[in-house]
Amino acid sequence: MMKKQSLTKTMNPGVHFLINYAVPIIFTILIAFAIPLSGLSGEYFIRELMIRLSRDSFLILALLIPVMAGMGMNFGIVLGAMAGEIGLIFITDWRIIGLSGMLLAMLISTPIAILLGYFAGIVLNRAKGREMVTGFMLAFFMNGIYQLVVLYGMGNIIPISDSSILLPRGYGIRNAISLLGIRQVLDKLIPLEIGGILIPVASLLVIATLCVFIIWFRKTKLGQVIRTVGQDNDIARTLGIDVGRTRILSIVISTVLACYGQIIFLQNIGTMNTYNSHEQVGVFAIAALLVGGASVSKATIPNVFVGVILFHTMFVVSPRAGKELIGQAQLGEYFRIFVSYGVIAFSLALYAWRKRIEKENERKKAMAFKRGILVK
Amino acid sequence: MKEKIQNIIENFGLPRIIIFLFLVLLFILTPFVGVRFDTSINDVIVRFGMNGILVLSLVPMVKSGCGLNFGLQLGIIAGLLGAVISIEMETIGFAGFFTAVGIAIFFAVVFGFLYGLLLNKTKGDEMVVATYVGFSSVSFMCIMWLMLPFKSPNMIWAYGGSGLRTTINTKGYWFHILTDFFQINIGSHIVFPTGTILFFALLTFLVWAFFRTKMGTAMTAVGSNTDYAKSCGVNVNKMRIISVVLSTVIAAIGIIVFEESFGFIQLYMAPLYMAFPAIAALLLGGASVGKASIKNVIIGAFLFQGILSMTPSVINNIIKSDMSEAIRIIVSNGMIVYALTRIMRVR
């Protein structure tokens, strides 16, 4: 309510809409130019988009609950992705294939994800107001620990029996692991093909289930508590809510979901870059969500899907468009990296700027109120 | 006694003590694992000279309350622009070096001013905004390095390609121009880079002196107590912009000194994560999100570069595998996470 009042005071509704949805609008315009330039066929395009929709949505959905708790974009989902990858390393080592392998990977990585999420929650509680930058640095820090465990610990302290996934020196996991055993097991579980385009029914069902879960979760008592904490920490505290614990819980849920999301992502790809697959997870998921019209304080399920479609259309199109335009695919490659980072920078700056205006307006109002009392 | 120790740990911070002890341990171990002590010392000094100015560049922004400059890459880009333009102009030796610095300062002032305006609009969230401003400007410059019409055959791809190379050699232009200036050989293994250290000392002195002028004091006041500064008639926003411009300019000079010593200009994605080691070094030296001094810069750069250059040689000799990369990641990012979780005064 505060937000609406303070903004409408200074701007008319049209400008308000433009600013609120600046990112999706700019994106739509960019894509409208880039699609004809790329010269890609409609069929290829839809196939690519279908793959990406089923591959990435789960990871992006994992971001929603921390936003609800007022903790902003959870850059720490990288931690969940790492947990998922550790599960995948183990099932590859034990040669458990098919859907059971994938489920086992999820089972193994769940406790790791809970542990990492709990740790992240504690750290973020100590950095209130700076959650995003802290989560971001935490992901980098954990990447070091992950390297230490996987590159030096595995095959050394942690037993790995399959020497083919180890480095030639006898310990440490290879840079790339083939996940052929579980490749697209979920995507192809319920085979359906429409006009030559494979529809990954089971993956989409899983995503739909998660959406239903999130909608349901919002209405549960815990969901309400998380939303109260997100709106105002002090009010939540006076209502007797343990704010710290609630925030930790929301990060744990997000981390576990991200862990499953990464497993779903990698079963589609079919190979895992042991040391790089998780690195960009946070950036891409967050950029996609923001492209979908979400902000740091508000993110909905429609934002997720609009975001996936817009953001990944850009991903599919930009290298080709770059090649056609300048004759260099590399240019398109850089362009999409720039767009991912740029979108995040733009959205964060816009959000911070707006927050500041609101704060100032509130202060002015409080001052005016005080003065009124004094006059009386 | 126990209380005293606890007090020291509290004041100094546990991670800092651990890292310091780790470094001492590394130095003690050097003779036993067959690494020469004097070459190790030499490595640390050379790296200190290379990176010191980048660490120093963070100080003005911390002092004015803008937080740690996660957008250091903007300054680095200005420096890179200065460096490649000076090579394009075929300027050699000291003239080349100072041409590069001059052009870099020009770009840094422009970038810093715009960056400062943005940070003023996003007060309270400077650090996360800065991080992504840094990242997006590096990736934007990737496109520019490909497209800008540079002609010098020493910088563009040799056959068929267009755009600048990923690494450009500074040999023949201003390679080691500072490092070799009055270089002193101590024994057979220590080569003291007098010029680089002197240049670092000069800049450090200038920054130190600046914070003793009227404007510098006002800037510090803005950082430590904004309301007080405001009531004293200090223009808070202007001070913050000046501090950001200063930080960006020093960073631009810093990267040119780095390249001068290193021998290569690294373009494209190379600067992407360059802010983190500099920030980690400053924090390691005892700075926090809201407080930093010249002392922190010198101690921090020395400790951090010590860790970076000692870990590979010593650890590799002990366990015969290169764990230095993982340790570097953990130390530098762990230090930053630690500093961010410290309770800071409310702005």
Whether B121 sits inside 8 A of A349 (CB atoms) is: yes
Interface test with B, best of A133, A290, A336 (most B CBs within 10 A): A133
Amino acid A374: pLDDT? 66
In this prediction, residue B201 has a pLDDT band, given cuts at 50, 70 and 90, of very high
Nearest to B139 among A126, A145, A334 (CB): A334
Contact A260, A318 (CB under 8 A): no
- Give dist(CA B225, CA B64) in Å, integer: 10
**How far away is chain A from the Cα of B312, in angstroms, using its nearest Cα?**
15
Domain tally, chain B? 1
Task: List the CATH number of the domain containing B114.
Answer: 1.10.3470
Run of H or E including B278: helix B275-284
What confidence tens digit (pLDDT) does each residue in A153-164 have?
A: 888 888 888 888
Q: Would you call A123 and B341 a contact, using CB atoms and an 8 Å cutoff?
A: yes
B146 near A CB under 8 A: yes
Tokens coding B317: 């000799």
Place of tokens 């090649």: A323
B5 located within any domain? no
CA B35 to chain centre: 28
Report the percent of chain B where pLDDT is more than 70: 97
**By three-state DSSP, how is residue B249 classified?**
helix
Q: Does B128 touch chain A (CB under 8 A)?
A: yes
User: Among all residues of chain A, which has the CA nearest to that of B332?
Assistant: A141
User: Least CB-CB distance to A356: which of B123, B326, B329?
Assistant: B123
Chain B partners within 8 Å of A140 (Cβ): 276, 329, 333
- Cα–Cα distances (Å) from B288 to A122, A315, B220, B341, in that order, read 20, 39, 14, 10
**How far apart (Å, rounded) are the C-alpha atoms in residues B83 and A333?**
25
The pTM (predicted TM-score) of the whole model is 0.87
Those residues whose C-beta lies under 8 Å from the C-beta of residue A86, and which sit 6 or more positions away, are: A108, A109, A112, A149, A150
For residues B297 and A198, what is the distance between their CA atoms, to the nearest angstrom?
58
Nearest-Cα distance to chain B for A169, in Å, is: 10
User: Tokens standing for B254?
Assistant: 């810093």
Cβ–Cβ below 8 Å for A141 and B276: no
Residues of A in contact with B328 (CB under 8 A): 144
Is residue B22 a contact partner of residue B324, using CB atoms and an 8 Å limit? no
Chain A hits for B323, Cβ within 8 Å: 148, 152
Distance from CA of A147 to the nearest CA of B (A): 6
Average pLDDT over chain A reads: 86
How far, in Å, CA of B335 to CA of B55, rounded? 14
Selecting from A130, A137, A151 the residue whose C-beta is nearest the C-beta of B326 gives A151
Contacts of A334 in chain B (CB under 8 A): 139, 142-143, 146
Question: Nearest residue on chain A to B280, judged by CA atoms?
Answer: A137
What's the pLDDT band for B347 if we cut at 50, 70, 90? very low
How much is the mean pLDDT over chain B? 85
Q: Which residues of B touch A325 (CB under 8 A)?
A: none
CA distance B221 to B214: 11
Instruction: Over range A206-210, report the average pLDDT.
Output: 94
What mean pLDDT do residues B305-318 have? 80
A141 touches chain B (CB under 8 A): yes
pLDDT in tens, A332-356: 778 888 888 888 888 888 888 888 8
Average pLDDT over residues B87-103: 86
Residue B38 lies in a domain: yes
Compute the distance between CA of residue B69 and CA of residue B72 in angstroms, rounded to an integer.
6
Cβ of B336 within 8 Å of Cβ of A137? The answer is yes
Per-residue confidence band for B324, with pLDDT thresholds at 50, 70 and 90: confident
Does residue A8 carry a pLDDT above 70?
A: no
CB neighbourhood size of B86 (10 A): 26
Closest Cα to residue B219, out of B66, B114, B344?
A: B66
Q: What sign has the CA pseudo-torsion A133, B309, B104, B170?
A: negative
> H or E stretch including B330?
helix B324-341
Spell out the alpha helix ranges (H) of chain A. Answer: 2-10, 13-20, 22-38, 42-61, 64-68, 77-93, 98-125, 131-147, 201-219, 221-231, 233-238, 243-269, 281-291, 301-326, 329-375
**Best of B341, B345, B346 to mutate (most A CBs within 10 Å, chain A):** B341
Assigned domain for B7 exists: no
The nearest CA of chain B is from the CA of A185 a distance in Å of 34
Q: Is B46 an interface residue toward A (CB < 8 Å)? A: no
Residue of chain A minimizing CA distance to B331: A141
* Structural contact between residues B338 and B55, judged by C-beta atoms closer than 8 angstroms: no
Write down the pLDDT at residue A3.
Answer: 44
Identify which of B187, B248, B337 has the alpha carbon closest to the alpha carbon of residue A134.
Answer: B337
Confidence of residue A330 (pLDDT cuts 50, 70, 90): confident
Q: Are A1 and A231 in contact (CB under 8 A)?
A: no
CATH code, A2-375: 1.10.3470
Distance CA A361, CA B4 (A): 48
Among the residue ranges A160-174, A223-237, A317-331, the one predicted with the least confidence is: A317-331
Q: What is the dihedral of CA A179, A184, A189, A190, to 10 degrees?
A: 180
Of A127, A169, A355, the CB nearest to B340: A127
Cβ of A147 under 8 Å from any chain B Cβ? yes
Chain A within 8 Å of B142 (Cβ-Cβ)? yes
Q: What residues are paired with A154 via a beta bridge?
A: A158
Domain residue spans of chain A:
2-375
B140 interfacial to chain A (CB closer than 8 Å):
yes
Cβ-nearest to B122 among A133, A344, A356:
A356
Q: Which residues of B230-264 are buried (b: 16+ CB within 10 A; e: fewer)?
A: eeeebebeebbbbbbbbbbbbbbbbbbbbbbbbeb
Q: How confident is the model at residue A7 (pLDDT cuts 50, 70, 90)?
A: very low
Q: Quick check: A138 and B132 CB within 8 A?
A: no
**Total Cβ atoms within 10 A of residue B267:** 24
Which positions in chain B touch A148 (Cβ < 8 Å)? Answer: 323, 326, 330
Residue B57 in 3-state DSSP? coil
- Using the predicted structure, report yes or no on whether residue A20 has a pLDDT greater than 80: no
Residue A78: both structure tokens together: 């990288």
Q: Do B123 and A132 touch (CB under 8 A)?
A: no
Nearest residue to A2 via CA among A366, A246, A302: A366
pLDDT for residue A305: 92
B209 touches chain A (CB under 8 A): no
Q: pLDDT band at residue B226, thresholds of 50, 70 and 90?
A: confident
A contacts of B240 (beta carbons < 8 Å): none
pLDDT at A33: 84
Of the candidates B98, B99, B104, B80, the residue with the CA atom closest to the CA atom of residue B89: B99
Q: What is the pLDDT of residues A104-127, one digit of tens each?
A: 999 999 999 999 999 999 999 988
How open is the CA angle A277-A282-A285, to the nearest 5 degrees?
A: 100
Query: Which amino acid would we find at residue B195?
Result: G
pLDDT tens-digit map of B47-94: 898 899 999 999 999 999 888 899 899 999 999 999 999 888 888 888
Query: In this model, does residue B133 exceed pLDDT 60?
Result: yes
Q: Which residues constitute the domain of residue B316?
A: 14-341
The verdict on a CB contact (< 8 Å) between B329 and A351 is no
Is 70 exceeded by the pLDDT of residue A375?
no
Residues B133, A349: C-beta atoms closer than 8 Å? yes
The Cα diameter of chain A in Å comes to 83
Kindly determine whether residue B136 and residue A136, on different chains, have CB atoms separated by under 8 Å. Answer: no
Taking residue A376's Cβ as centre, other Cβ atoms within 10 Å add up to 5
Does residue B160 belong to any structural domain of this protein? yes
Which amino acid is present at B165?
R
* pLDDT digits 0-9 by tens, A34-83: 888 877 888 888 888 888 999 999 999 999 999 999 898 999 899 999 99
**Res A1 pLDDT > 70:** no
Say if B1 falls within a structural domain. Answer: no
Please report whether residue B193 resides in a domain.
yes
**Helix (H), strand (E) at residue B44:** helix B37-56
B184: phi then psi, degrees, rounded to nearest 5: -115, 130
